[in-house]
Structure 1
Amino acid sequence: MSMLALTDTQISSWVAAFILPLFRVTAVLMSMPVFGTTLVPRRVRLYFALAITVVIAPGLPPMPPVHALDLSALMLVAEQILIGVLMGFSLQLFFQAFVVAGQIISVQMGMAFASMIDPTNGVNTAVIGQFLTMLVTLLFLAMNGHLVVFEVLTESFTTMPVGSALLVNHFWEIAGKLGWVLGAAMVLVLPAITALLVVNIAFGVMTRAAPQLNIFSIGFPLTLVLGMVIFWISMGDILNQYQPLATEALQLLRDMAQAR
């Protein structure tokens, strides 16, 4: 009766073919929006990462062998975690642009005090920012943005193979493009801010014309009501505002992974 003989090299190659992709997939799921929030339990995210890795592992390029407790293996693992976190962080910037937009509108219309605990991040955010976050999440899922992320993630193992130095050479080029968040938020809220500025100027003229008018008792509720009306009107064009930002965010993700 013959026994199956396995060498250390074979075992290392089999382990590397699954473990190294698993770290990159897990890092993306732990840091990206929607799936990487506290609303999804960590155990569920881990099971989901295992399922994705099992599906994509047979079609990935050959992985370098991994030797347990070796410094080179730890460096490879750290590289996969860094790549995954950067990919997830680039998507987080896209969602945070809407959160910043909500904060700016809230301050201008006098609703900065109306805050609530964001269940996804565990911090206080303005109610309008939370509303925009939920809206963008639904739009992201409805337009299959998560499928694009998984496609780019799978392709990244070919464009950025495990053990390559492409990430280091490409990181600074991508880092210069990450400052578009504040600009995107300002573009989102510019119509609302302009309308609220006109309202505040009108109240200033009223106060100058009638000094006996108590602007604090009249201006605050009117600014709040008019701000809600302006925000409601601006929501009619939210899809046209969402599409270019989502396209730019996903293109940034593709550029980071050097995908097609």
Structure 2
Amino acid sequence: MDGLEPFAIELTPWIALFMTVVARLSFIIFFLPGIGEQVVPVRVRAMLLVAVALALASSGFLAAPQTTDIGALFTLLLSEILIGFLLGVMLRLSIWMLTIAGTVIAQSIGLAQFLGIALEHEAQTLTANLLSMAGAAILLSANFHVEAIAALARLYTDIPLGAVSMINGPMLAQSFFSAMSFALLLAWPFVAFNLLYNICLGFINKALPSLMVAFVGAPFMVGAGVALLTLSIAGLLIAWKDRVLQVAGWL
């Protein structure tokens, strides 16, 4: 065992570095659009996390933590977990925008009662699932995950190990505000269409009280809403993709 002591001395800093890289990457990989979806098996995401962490820890441009104290290392790991969580949430905002927009659209065109599979932790409406899956496919085809991992490697120079205070709080708040406002902006044409429909329905009901306008208007609302979604979904996704990098903030 005495012969293994030099190897243990050399491996200890690398193991500490690997643990800190895993701590920062864990939430980012599990929140990454396309890869972090609930339909992707956990084993696949865990294997990708270990592979990327090994690549970064073995690259040589990351310095090992300058500490041998267990308490200090544990505090460093907690700081890295918090940094990774905040960065991962900023990435996940890109998909949450489409989920919010899809939910508002479903409420506007009368499809809120039809739920699809649970892409997140609970079942979403059909339109939210449609937009979320389409958005994840677009980002994967555009190599968004590769750009995110490359940006994360460069980010170690701006946010060193354990530097939670380097996280820009106003930028994080601005990302949340921008994501929410843009999601509502994407769904606004459908909300305006629903408002116009209800105003016209009220005038018709006032003019012809004996006519059961709900039986005529509800199918028209669903059909017209689906037709509007079909015509506008391509432009909606293009506008969303142009805003994704601005919402993420650190790419």
What amino acid does structure 2 have at the position aligned with 1:111?
A: L
Instruction: Tell me which residue corresponds to 2:156.
Output: 157
Looking at structure 2, the residues matched to 38 and 239 of structure 1 have their Cα atoms a distance apart, in angstroms, of 21
What amino acid does structure 1 have at the position aligned with 2:61?
A: L
2:139 matched to 1:170? no
2:42 matched to 1:42? yes
Gaps of 5+ in 2: none
- Greater shift after overlay, 172-181 or 213-222? 172-181
Looking at structure 2, the residues matched to 239 and 181 of structure 1 have their Cα atoms a distance apart, in angstroms, of 14
Looking at structure 2, the residues matched to 4 and 225 of structure 1 have their Cα atoms a distance apart, in angstroms, of 73
| Secondary structure in 2 matching 1:213 | coil
Paired residue total: 248
TM-score, normalization by structure 1: 0.86
- Pick from 227, 230, 241 the counterpart of residue 229 of structure 1: 227
2:27–2:84 contact (8 Å) kept in structure 1: yes
Alignment of 1:1-260 (within 5 A): 3=3, 6=6, 10-57=10-57, 58-67=59-68, 70-118=70-118, 120-163=119-162, 165=163, 167-177=164-174, 178-250=176-248, 252-254=249-251
Alignment CA distance shift 1:3-1:105 (3 Å): closer
Alignment CA distance shift 1:116-1:7 (3 Å): closer
How far off is 1:240 after superposition? Answer: 3.0
Looking at structure 1, the residues matched to 231 and 240 of structure 2 have their Cα atoms a distance apart, in angstroms, of 15
2:102–2:125 contact (8 Å) kept in structure 1: yes
Q: Identity of paired residues, percent?
A: 23
2:101–2:186 contact (8 Å) kept in structure 1: yes
Gaps of 5+ in 1: 255-260
Looking at structure 2, the residues matched to 210 and 6 of structure 1 have their Cα atoms a distance apart, in angstroms, of 92
How far off is 1:125 after superposition? Answer: 1.0
What amino acid does structure 2 have at the position aligned with 1:142?
A: S
Cα distance per residue 1:100-133 (max 9 Å; x no partner): 1111111111111111231x32312111111111
How far off is 1:18 after superposition? Answer: 2.1
Alignment CA distance shift 1:208-1:31 (3 Å): same
How far off is 1:75 after superposition? Answer: 0.8
2:34–2:137 contact (8 Å) kept in structure 1: no
Computed over aligned residues only, the root mean square deviation of the Cα atoms, in angstroms, reads 2.2
What amino acid does structure 2 have at the position aligned with 1:243?
A: K
| Secondary structure in 1 matching 2:20 | helix
Looking at structure 2, the residues matched to 3 and 74 of structure 1 have their Cα atoms a distance apart, in angstroms, of 29
